[in-house]
Amino acid sequence: MSFPLYALPEEHDMLRETVRALADEKIAPRAAEADETGEFPWDVYKALVAADMHAVHVPEEYGGAGADALATVIVIEEVARACASSSLIPAVNKLGTVPLLLSASEEVKQRYLAPVARGEAMFSYALSEAEAGSDAAAMKTRAVADGDHYVLNGAKMWITNAGVSEYYTVMAVTEPGAGARGISAFVVEKSDEGVSFGPKERKLGIKGSPTRQVILENVRIPASRMIGEPGTGFKTALATLDHTRITIAAQALGIAQGALDYAVGYVKERKQFGKAVAEFQGVQFMIADMAMKLEAARQLTYAAAAKSELAMHGEPQKDLTFFSSAAKCAASDAAMEITTDAVQLLGGYGYTGDYPVERMMRDAKITQIYEGTNQIQRMVMARQLLK
Ligand code: CAA
Ligand code: FAD
């Protein structure tokens, strides 16, 4: 009896090499500046588009690269290793468009996925509100039917890449009082009359990725822009997160890998007590633990990606919800620990802006918060186990 080799397919290893080369050449040199200025790195976006790495998950029938979920994870991981803010380009393009892939009409898919695949438009995802974060179903944004149109009013909070994205998947209440079953999903365009954006949030990390409110004031859109049936928007939103929490896990892995690689290089060079600090067992054990936690989280993330890929292709996976929450939670907790240890291993220098590890530590923190806080991931996992 033969047992298949437990390893990445060769093309995924090659993809990693290609993205790493691009990231080393074009993205890493821009990371510190994007962090300092808080400006969206348009040149990085253009470089990703030129390499067809900006929205790799878009299927070929809509003009995309048609990368599988594991390949998408590898792209996000390698971009995040160089610059966490930039990794939100492929990650949020996936987050914004998975609702369409899961539930939209063919007409909506054709109309909106092709420009994203061509790099002419980015796509954001607007679920959260100021008073409805973890309890997303408590949203207040309203969409009221008006003939063959809907009129949207409300404000979506914390929207990643708001202002730079052309398109938005917006969840809104169509049937008040019906709770999660009264929410529908829509495509809103930046150019729709009545759409505006709040000021950029001043954040701890991922500063090169704008986070802004999306404000909707009497935004009148055709009913054909509803994604799926009325009342199915919340389910589509949560089903989407089953696929995209894995991309946040990927982002966390990349940030952690960047910090580990930097720390390993540093401890071999830095001398104290007459020798490289890498020769001290106290340092060696830290490096070993960092790499062990990272690899454990990576294996869980890749297993989750494999399940996501099967589910996307009509083979529902009953444990996808568990795996995607577990991967996001494990990878983000690991990233926070690993980046904090990397700062520790660089000593005082690690605490300064002259070295990249303090930025990585700040960037890592968000991965424990967005796409559902890690308490929410633990709640989702426990519900799956206890149901
Ligand atoms: N897939 C499909 N449907 C699902 C589902 C899933 N994974 N999980 C639940 N549902 C369905 C349920 O079956 C239920 O439908 P029925 O009533 O028809 O049975 C409906 O959705 C509501 O489910 P719950 O009762 O479980 O919902 P809840 O109100 O208790 O909330 C929650 C569940 C897990 C707490 C959810 O609100 C949640 O995930 N909160 C966190 C919010 C979040 O992750 N926000 C991310 C914003 S995006 C972001 O942050 C962007 C970024 O990083 C860049
Ligand atoms: P709250 O829900 O107010 O939580 C406060 C604290 O209470 C947290 O520690 C939380 O874990 C805890 N808590 C809440 N409920 C429970 C519970 N039942 N059990 C245990 N603990 C609980 N949203 C989008 O829709 N689109 C985006 O693109 C997007 N991008 C973001 C980018 C950034 C930089 C940030 C900061 C947020 C982004 N978000 C986005 C929103 C993000 O998903 C929410 O911030 C997150 O889900 C938490 O919601 P909250 O901030 O309202 O915290």
| Half-sphere CA count of 261, side-chain side, radius 13 A | 13
Question: For the segment 3-28, what is each residue's pLDDT rounded down to a tens digit?
Answer: 777 888 899 999 999 999 999 999 99
Q: Looking at residues 167-186, what average pLDDT do you find?
A: 98
> What is the length of the chain?
387
Asked whether residue 2 carries a pLDDT value surpassing 90, the answer given is no
CA pair distance 158, 236, nearest whole angstrom: 19
- What number does the ligand 2 atom closest to the CA of 161 have? 28
Backbone angles phi, psi at 111, to 5 degrees: -70, -40
Distance 15 CA to ligand 2 centre (A): 33
CA 47 to chain centre: 19
Q: Is the pTM of this model over 0.90?
A: yes
How many A from CA of 219 to the centre of ligand 2?
26
Residue 269 appears among annotated catalytic residues: no
What's the distance, CA 288 to chain centroid?
Answer: 27
pLDDT at 227: 98
SS3 159: strand
**Quick one: pLDDT band at residue 1, thresholds 50, 70, 90?**
low
Does residue 321 line the site of ligand 1, with CB under 6 A? yes
pLDDT of 174 above 80: yes
Quick one: which atom of ligand 2 is closest to the CA of 160?
Answer: 28
Q: Which residue spans within 183-300 are E strands per DSSP?
A: 183-189, 195-197, 211-222, 226-227, 271-272, 275-276
Domains of the chain: 10-118 (1.10.540.10), 123-230 (2.40.110.10), 234-386 (1.20.140.10)
pLDDT in tens, 228-246: 999 999 999 999 999 999 9
This complex has an ipTM of 0.99
Question: Is the confidence at residue 338, as pLDDT, over 80?
Answer: yes
Q: How many CB atoms lie within 10 A of CB 43?
A: 12
- 92 Cα nearest atom in ligand 1: 54
73 pLDDT higher than 70: yes
Closest CA to 244 of 37, 94, 138: 94
The percentage of residues in the chain with a pLDDT greater than 90, rounded to a whole number, is 98
CA–CA separation, 310 vs 193, rounded Å? 39
Which protein residue has the closest C-alpha to ligand 1 atom 4?
235
Exposed, middle or buried by CB within 10 Å (0-12, 13-18, 19+), for 329?
A: buried
Which of 3-17, 100-114, 164-178, 284-298 has the weakest average pLDDT? 3-17
Instruction: Write down the pLDDT at residue 154.
Output: 98
Q: What is the pLDDT of residues 21-61, one digit of tens each?
A: 999 999 999 999 999 999 999 999 999 999 999 999 999 99
Contact status, residue 145 vs residue 225, Cβ threshold 8 Å: no
pLDDT of residue 247: 98
CA distances to 51, 199, 221, 321, 362 from 158, in Å: 29, 11, 23, 24, 17
Q: How confident is the model over 257-296, as pLDDT tens digits?
A: 999 999 999 999 999 999 999 999 999 999 999 999 999 9
d(CA 337, CA 326): 16
Q: How many A from CA of 242 to the centre of ligand 1?
A: 9
Q: C-alpha distances in angstroms, 212 versus 49, 111, 124, 158? A: 24, 25, 11, 5
Quote the tokens at residue 227.
Answer: 């994604």
Q: Which atom of ligand 1 is nearest to the CA of 366?
A: 53
State pLDDT tens for residues 192-228. Answer: 999 999 999 999 999 999 999 999 999 999 999 999 9
Per-residue 3-state assignment (H helix, E strand, C coil) for 318-341: CCHHHHHHHHHHHHHHHHHHHHHH
| Mean pLDDT, rounded, for 367-372 | 98
Site to probe by mutation for ligand 1, drawn from 238, 242, 368, 369 as the one with most ligand atoms within 8 Å of Cβ, is 238
Residue nearest to ligand 2 atom 47, measured at CA: 372
Specify the residue with its C-alpha closest to ligand 1, atom 44: 372
pLDDT of residue 275: 98
- Which ligand approaches the C-alpha of residue 99 most closely? 1
What percent of the chain is predicted at pLDDT more than 70?
Answer: 99
Q: What is the mean pLDDT of residues 81-108?
A: 98
Q: Is any atom of ligand 1 closer than 6 Å to the C-beta of 152?
A: no
Q: Which of 77, 78, 129, 371 is catalytic?
A: 371
- Residues contacting ligand 2 via CB (< 6 Å): 124-128, 133-134, 158-160, 203, 206, 211, 366, 369-373, 375-376, 379
Q: What does each C-alpha distance from 40 to 161, 165, 359 come to in angstroms?
A: 9, 11, 16
Residue 44's alpha-carbon distances to 39, 64, 82, 122, 134, in angstroms, are 11, 19, 11, 14, 32
Segment 69-83 mean pLDDT: 98
Q: Supply the DSSP symbol for 165.
A: -
Mean pLDDT of the chain: 97
Closest listed ligand to the CA of 156: 2
Is the Cβ atom of 375 under 6 angstroms away from ligand 1? Answer: no
